[in-house]
Amino acid sequence: MRLAVLTSGGDAPGMNGAIRAVARTAFARGWEVLGVRNGYQGLLENDLVPLRDRAVGGILHRGGTVLGTARSPEFTKPEGQRRALGNLSAAGVEGLVVIGGEGSLTGALRLSELGLRTAGIPGTIDNDVPATDMAIGVDTALNTALEAIDRIKDTASSHQRAHVVEVMGRHCGYLALMGAIAGGAEAVLVPEFTPDPQGIVESLVRSYAKGKPHFIVVVAEGASVSAEELHEYINRTPGAFESRLTVLGHVQRGGNPLAYDRILSGRLGAAAVEALADGDSGVMVGTAGRNVARVPLSEVAGGPRPLDPQVYSLARTLAGLSPDEHAP
């Protein structure tokens, strides 16, 4: 069998480990492997290269993706998908593994519907892919954000200021919520729940009056009240801390994957090849507790991953706020 593998969408630490695991699991079965450079755009441009054993050596610890990634508006259209399928057929490719987020996995579903054997691996720091507990890259990105929050807290305490920290996540507040809990933040704003900026600032004023030396708010980039808006609101409020704004940005995507993501990438990469070997197509391999499960891509594409309201309530409780004051 000749197998192809690609990475698509935003890069995530651990993608290289998944490429390596896909290739070496396929090699163990005597299969050939082609790497698709620059995601679905590479499929449209027929940019396929043979992967040998040494080509995937020494990449496990590296961040980013050695195959590259790109967004391809053309591939989202049926004619683009048929063209990509034609290029794969001409190259003798019988199966495809796609590593990426929800949009990338939707692309895998479309190719599956056209008759190509496909398997998907969730790889995105946002952790917004349904039907899996964790995606590749989430743990490393969370620890990157946490390290920044810890460092900012030192400065906030020294200068007796409020610091508003924006983290990535688009429309998913997982990174912000978990970063706030792990970093001991006093408040968190996420897209999934209606924020109460006035309540946050009132809590800030009370803390300042009691002599609290700092105040940390973590805001997801997709929250309905932005980090910049909250920062300005705080600075306009009499009796509150002076506020500073920090946007962590793409630093959360880069860096060497931590142990969890290296192990997860190996497990999911091997599981994707095993699914294709078993004749399963149009599936995503993801985590369900301690196990790796296969889920139809039709259950993954287009569906948001909900944020657990109990975890959100926990964050409020640990911050000293009422756990019940939230609305979906």
76 is annotated as contributing to ligand binding: no
104 is annotated as contributing to ligand binding: yes
Please state, in angstroms and rounded to a whole number, the distance separating the CA atoms of residues 65 and 13. Answer: 8
Q: In what order do the strands lie in the sheet with 215-220?
A: 187-189, 215-220, 161-167, 242-247
161 is annotated as contributing to ligand binding: yes
243 is annotated as contributing to ligand binding: no
77 is annotated as contributing to ligand binding: no
Considering the candidates 126, 128, 139, 261, report the single residue annotated as catalytic: 126
66 is annotated as contributing to ligand binding: no
Q: Which of 288, 234, 252 lies closest to 138, judged by CA?
A: 252
Longest dimension (CA), the chain: 71
Q: Which of 76, 152, 69, 146 lies closest to 111, judged by CA?
A: 76
**Cβ contact 5:23 at 8 Å:** yes
CB count, 10 Å around CB of 258? 17
Question: What are the residues whose beta carbons fall under 8 Å from the beta carbon of 282, sequence distance 6 or more?
Answer: 108, 109, 112, 113, 118, 296, 297, 298
52 is annotated as contributing to ligand binding: no
State the residue for tokens 């009132």.
202
185 is annotated as contributing to ligand binding: yes
72 is annotated as contributing to ligand binding: yes
Please state, in angstroms and rounded to a whole number, the distance separating the CA atoms of residues 159 and 241. Answer: 10
The backbone torsions φ and ψ at residue 187, rounded to the nearest 5 degrees and listed phi first, read -165, 160
252 is annotated as contributing to ligand binding: yes
153 is annotated as contributing to ligand binding: yes
326 is annotated as contributing to ligand binding: no
State the residue for tokens 């591939």.
75
124 is annotated as contributing to ligand binding: yes
Is 280 tagged catalytic? no
Extract the annotated binding site for ATP: 10, 71-72, 101-104
Instruction: Point out the residues that are catalytic.
Output: 126
Extract the annotated binding site for ADP: 20-24, 153, 184-186, 210, 212-214
Extract the annotated binding site for substrate: 124-126, 161, 168-170, 221, 244, 250-253
Extract the annotated binding site: 10, 20-24, 71-72, 101-104, 124-126, 153, 161, 168-170, 184-186, 210, 212-214, 221, 244, 250-253
